[in-house]
Structures are given as C-alpha cells and as structure tokens.
Amino acid sequence: MSKSLLAARSVCRVCHGGCAARLYMENGRLVKVRPDPDSPFSRGRMCVKGLSTPEIMYHPDRLTRPLKRQGERGAGDWREISWDQALGEIAQRLAEFRAASGPESVALGQGTGRHHYFQVVRFANTFGTPNWYEPGLANCFIPRITVSNLTYGGFVTADYYGPVTPRTIIFWGHNPLVSGPDGELAWPAARALKAGAFGIAVDPRLSETSRRAGLWLPIRPGTDAALALALAHVIIFDEIFDRDFVRDWTTGFDHLKERVRECTPAWAEEITGVPAPLIVETARRYALDKPSVLEWGLAIEQTPNCLQTVRALAVLRGLTGNLDRPGTDVFGAPGLKPYPVLKDKLPSDALKKRLGAERFKLLGGFRAYLPSAHIPALFRAMREGDPYRVRALLIFGNNPLTTVAGAGEVLRSLLALDLLVVSELFMTPTAALADYVLPAAFWPEVDQILELPLVAPRAVYAQSKLAQVGQCRQNEDILIDLARRLDLPGCGESLADILDQRLEPLGVSFAQLKERFAVFPPHAYGTYEQGGFRTPSRKVELFCKGLERLGYDPLPSFQEPPESPRSRPDLLAAYPLVLTTGARRPEYFHSEGRQIRSLRRRRPDPLVQINPEDAARAGVRGGDWVRVVSPRGAIRLRAAVSPDIRPGVVNVDHGWWFPERGGFDFGVMESNANLLTNPGPPYDPAFGTYQLRALLCRVEKETG
C-alpha cells in the first residue's frame, strides 16, 4: 500500500479565510488536508470546511466538463461539449453583442474574495464594459477599505502578531471566532483574549465571540452609527482622547466635537437599546486601556447609512491614537505590484455608461476603490432595459439567486438575458438557468498569490496547483483564453507572467515563492511619523475634505434605517420584529456546501434564531418549522429558540437552497433570506448600499 505524502503547503480558500494548510497526496489524488502549524495567522488551526476539502473536491456532483443548454432554461437538458467549442461559441456571441449593442450590454459578476477576483475586472476593462459586480462592493468590506483610505490613507487590521498584545478589543458586528476573513482569523483573536485582552462585543446576538467577551452590547440592528457617535461624545467631552495624537496628527477635531455634542449616551440608549453605563464603560476602556483594537465586520455596511456608519467607527481610532502602534490597528507592508487590471484600457466614454456610477460616486466613480456597477441598477437593466439593455452576463463563482437582495427580481432578470454563462464547482440554482456552464477549479487546483491580511498585508503566500478533477479549469485561465479569442488588450500575458510581475518587488518568481511557500517581511510601526498619513492633509481626517468635495457629509452622522420600528410604526402591527440576516456558520460559506454530507449532517436545516419572549408570543417552540414574513415575501425555516439574541430581533440564516431536490431551482425560493431583503431605495448616497439588515418581519408557526 502506498502512503499519503505531504505534497505541498498552501492556503485554504474554501471560504476566503486564509488558513495555511498542508496537503497530502496518494496515487495522484488529494486524500488529506491538515492545518499548517507554522502560520502566524491560522496558528495550526483550521475549520471543518477546510478539513472537508477532499470530500468537496471529489464529490460525485462536481462539475467536470463544459455543458451547453439544449432545451428550455431550467429544464436540465444539457450536452457535454469541449472547451474549444464552449469558449469559441461564447466569444462569438460576446463579439456580436459588442458590435450590435455596445460592450456595456455585456456584464460580469463574481463572488467574494476568490483567486480570480482581479482577472474578472481585467477582462471587463479590456472588453470595454464598465458593468461588473461583486456583492461586497456596496455591502461588505469595500466601504471599510474606502473609508479607511479617506480617513487615514490606508486600510488597517488588528495587530495580533507583534510584540504587544492588545489590552482592549471591540468586536463590532464581527464574529471572528466563526468568520475570519482574509487572514483576520479566529485563532489570533482567541489567543489575545486568552492572554488577557478585554473583549467588548457589539452584536444583537450573543455570538460565539460575544460569549468570550467581558461586555456584550446587544444593539438594535441598524443603529451602529448612533452608538459610535455616543462613544466619540464620551471620549471627547470626558477629555479622555489622546491629546498629543489629536493635536499633531488629526484635522477637524473641533468640527467633530460640535457634531457629537448632543450625541450623549442617554440619547444613544434610546435609539440603540444599549444602556448608557455600558456605552460609557466601552468608551473609557477603548480610550484608556490601550493598546486597543476595533474589529469591525460587515454588519455595519448593510443599511442605507453605510458610509456614515463606517465613518463613525473609523474616527474612534483617530481620537484615541489606536493606529499604527504595536497592539493597535496597523497598516500592511509587503508592497507587491498591484494586479494589472488594465484600467487604462477601458474607454473613457464607457465610464458614463456604468450603471449607477454618476449617482453613487464611491461605488462607481473615479474615487471608488474598485469602480463597479450598482447591482440593483444592473439587474433592472437586464429585465427592463432601463437605461439600456444588458443582454449577457458572465458569472464566476457567484450564485446571485441566493446572494443578491430581492431573489424574485434576480430570477426575472436572469430569465430575460440573451446569454448567461456560469463558471462553478457544482450545479447551483443560478447555473441551472445558464446557456453554458463551465467547470471551475477548486483551491487545490489553482496557482495564485495571496497577501494576508487582505489589503493590509503582513505576509505573501503561494497557492499551488496539485491536481485536477476532470476538465476543470482555473477561472483566470478561462478568462485569458476567452480574451485571446476576442483579441483583447493584454491577452498575450499568461497568468504565470502576471504572477511574476507582481512579485518583482520581493525579488522572487512565483516558482521560487512556491518553494518557500511564504514571505514575511519585517513589520514597521509608526510609519506616519516619517511623512504623515497618506491623506491630502497628511493627517487623520476626522473632518474629511475628500467627502466634502464629492458632495457628501464630511462628518459622520446617524440615520434611522428606512424600515424600522421608529421609521415605520405603521408596519409594526403586521411586522413587530426586527430582522437581521447574514450571520456566518462554520459549516457553510454563503450558499456553498449544502451538498457536502459531513457538513450538512452538522447543520441540516435553515434556522431562524428567536428570543424565548418572542417565540412564546408567536406560539413557537424550538425545532418548530415556522414562516418568517417581511413586506416582500415569506420563507420557511426551523426555529432555534434562545436567549442568545436580543428580544424583538430575529436572525435568519442566509444562502439556503437544497441540492438534493434537483429540478430547475433546487428549492431556492423556499428558505432564501433574500426573498425578505430589500433591493429597492433608499440607497446609501455614496455606495448605493441596499438594506440587508434592520428590516421588519414577523414569525408565525407553520400549520398543516
């Protein structure tokens, strides 16, 4: 019998966490994945998703050959074809759309944080279309990056890796002990808490992280900005701000002081439901028991007050000097060349055609971090032709029927397309509607560079291709092949060429990096002391002139969610509860993993978490099947009755569909949280963010 042998060290990307992994092969087959003990990020740990990698990779339902639709959309009538035929026919149709309707009539979509991310952007730019999307650009992560760049000139992450352990950690709308994105993983946060750091959790749920914290602030969803402004009020008016840092390294302090003058803890308590004494204690701990870290998650980015909510949290770092010092939030270092997305190849007249760009300047305008289309506007253009018709959509690793708000509208939009192409690991509800389905490579089947933490990197890793299932191909190679068939600019460069170009500043090739696995440049603190922050003022901009020039409020502010108990009292009789969605589960990544037996066995059903008080009023017991109803629709879930959620709030699992059911839709309209969310206005004026949380709903026991 042959033994399994260590084949390579790599980085797990079942989700976009970034746990270092050791991969073991036997007779050319991946048989085992284990955590790598030498990573400072994952520290020899890995979640159940990563450990199940071989089961996912060799699952019998894995897509392994290109498929072409034969019958009606959704009928499941497919014919296997060659890659040459598939890409040849797709390229021909794209060229026809570009000639007849303009390149903007073709759009691209992708999922969050995957290896092919920037190659999708590169293809869009060189093809000439301004219309590409990824759900996080308005609702997850990109607002935090953009605001960080505007406020202090770069993105920051918690310093769990240096000589000093943080003394205070605020976990705000973030549950890193379950969802650790892009190197900001559970294990270092847990280690800091174990070493004595005092945790403060801002979350309507007593999450896994909240249980480890010293304080739990069970906030009403959608009111985070009010809480942050009250913290700023305490820090300023109790005079516990970092006087030297504020004097020497910030601008706009007096303006901010006036803005938060009336934002007292009592004012915030009435809005948020967080007791005023807890607000004061949180402010004092964060400002005085330093060094401190503010771990912020995507919950703050999923209401129409996205920009100012993120800004309200961002200024807290500047007021307290918890920036770029050991044990605080720090900037990254490695400095690879940016991925060459060839932005200059996008025709200048295309910018005016980007859907939503003129209105949402931080999403699609020139100051946007990754200029992209507004998702509600893009899908409306597909189904209604307003302001022009989008005829084709190419999707790479995204399942919009489950991951975009307003699932019913998404379905109508996809059915209206002339061409839908989906590259995926498995047949999903979205892929089932496609004209062509392309089999995508899984993470052990790709070559790529990974910087961790993302956007504020401390290390550079190599992902290594070790095996290939069937005819599965890496999405970058699919896009490069398609670009060559269309003779697009830059199509002569291979992925290997691009990776070597990016690594030039480190003086290594990709082949050499694979041998070394990772590069950890020494980290430098206090870099602003040598030339200031990378903002126009060279300081932390509490009053942001960049926002003022764009026509947005330069100071953070609070706005009540548009569908809440305070803004819509007329709905309370029918919808008395506040809905929050999107909590992460260790078994699944968004809509992925439901067909993996070992994972599904751990969490077989979609759940709604509800407080015992609210469950009793609805006549619901734990384990009952219930309907959760919002003004937009209803879904079916199993009740999880628990005191670990604030009364008056329910939390709904997202991303649910049922691969075992087959059919055209796999039951995607039964338990899909995005039948409840709202893709309509009002939107955040800068990012176009729509409402995924802080909505109204009711829970009723299922009968019959």
Please indicate, yes or no, if residue 560 is contained in any of the structural domains: no
- Give the pTM: 0.95
Same domain, 655 and 673: yes
Task: Find all residues with CB under 8 Å of 92, minimum gap 6, and list them.
Answer: none
Same domain, 356 and 424: yes
Same domain, 477 and 388: yes
Q: Say if residues 689 and 139 touch (Cβ distance below 8 Å).
A: yes
> Which of 393-397, 448-452, 476-480 is least confident?
448-452
CA distances from 31 to 22, 28, 344, 445, 470 (A): 11, 9, 44, 14, 17
Q: What is the pLDDT of residue 631?
A: 97
Q: What is the pLDDT of residue 340?
A: 97
Please indicate, yes or no, if residue 345 is contained in any of the structural domains: no
CATH number of 12's domain: 2.20.25.90
Give the domain-ending residue among 57, 75, 96.
57
Please indicate, yes or no, if residue 346 is contained in any of the structural domains: no
Same domain, 88 and 48: no
Tell me the percentage of the chain whose pLDDT exceeds 90. 84
Rounded CA separation 135/146 (Å)? 15
Q: Which domain holds residue 121?
A: 67-140+351-463+470-519
- In Å, how far from its chain's centre is CA 62? 25
Q: Say if residues 396 and 124 touch (Cβ distance below 8 Å).
A: no
Please indicate, yes or no, if residue 482 is contained in any of the structural domains: yes
Q: What is the pLDDT of residue 286?
A: 98
Rounded CA separation 582/655 (Å)? 8
SS3 content of the chain, % helix, strand, coil (to 5): 35, 20, 45
Give the domain-ending residue among 263, 297, 330.
330
- Mean pLDDT in residue range 83-101: 98
Same domain, 365 and 513: yes
Among residues 466, 515, 474, 440, the alpha carbon closest in space to that of 27 is found at: 466
619-670, pLDDT tens digit by residue? 999 999 999 999 999 999 999 999 999 999 999 999 999 999 977 789 999 9
Instruction: Give the Cβ contact number of residue 674 at 10 Å.
Output: 30
Three-state DSSP at 190 gives: helix
CATH number of 280's domain: 3.40.228.10
Q: Which residues pair with 133 in a beta bridge?
A: 109
Task: Find all residues with CB under 8 Å of 440, minimum gap 6, and list them.
Answer: 63, 396, 397, 423, 424, 425, 472, 473, 474, 475, 478
Same domain, 197 and 52: no
Q: What is the pLDDT of residue 334?
A: 77
The one-letter amino acid code at 212 reads R
Same domain, 48 and 93: no
Rounded CA separation 449/281 (Å)? 42
Among residues 245, 250, 241, the alpha carbon closest in space to that of 153 is found at: 250
Same domain, 384 and 403: yes
Please indicate, yes or no, if residue 537 is contained in any of the structural domains: no
Q: Say if residues 103 and 77 touch (Cβ distance below 8 Å).
A: no
Q: What is the pLDDT of residue 41?
A: 82
Token pair belonging to 138: 């308005």
Q: Say if residues 496 and 510 touch (Cβ distance below 8 Å).
A: yes
Rounded CA separation 145/582 (Å)? 20
603-613, pLDDT tens digit by residue? 999 999 999 99
Q: CA Rg, the chain, in Å?
A: 24
273-325, pLDDT tens digit by residue? 999 999 999 999 999 999 999 999 889 999 999 999 999 999 999 999 999 99
Q: What is the pLDDT of residue 156?
A: 95
What's the pLDDT band for 2 if we cut at 50, 70, 90? low
Q: Say if residues 602 and 572 touch (Cβ distance below 8 Å).
A: no
What's the pLDDT band for 3 if we cut at 50, 70, 90? low
What's the pLDDT band for 456 if we cut at 50, 70, 90? confident
CATH number of 630's domain: 2.40.40.20
What's the pLDDT band for 6 if we cut at 50, 70, 90? confident
Strands 577-581 and 649-652: parallel
Tell me the percentage of the chain whose pLDDT exceeds 70. 99
Mean pLDDT of the chain, nearest integer: 94
Inter-axis angle of helices 306-320 and 142-152, to 10 degrees?
Answer: 40
DSSP for 586-645?
Answer: TT-BTTB-TT-HHHHHHS-S-EEEE-HHHHHHHT--TT-EEEEEETTEEEEEEEEE-SSB
Token pair belonging to 315: 């200024």
Q: What is the pLDDT of residue 1?
A: 42
The structure tokens 């009002």 sit at 682
Same domain, 581 and 686: yes
Same domain, 392 and 506: yes
Please indicate, yes or no, if residue 148 is contained in any of the structural domains: no
The one-letter amino acid code at 591 reads S
CATH number of 439's domain: 3.40.50.740
Of the two residues 351 and 255, the one the predictor is more confident about is 255
Give the count of domains, the chain: 4
Please indicate, yes or no, if residue 343 is contained in any of the structural domains: no
Phi and psi for 493 in degrees, rounded to 5? -85, 130
Judge whether residue 60 has pLDDT over 80: yes
- Mean pLDDT in residue range 73-90: 95
Same domain, 50 and 84: no
Same domain, 106 and 202: no
Q: Say if residues 229 and 312 touch (Cβ distance below 8 Å).
A: yes
Please indicate, yes or no, if residue 477 is contained in any of the structural domains: yes
115-155, pLDDT tens digit by residue? 999 999 999 999 999 999 998 888 889 999 999 999 999 99
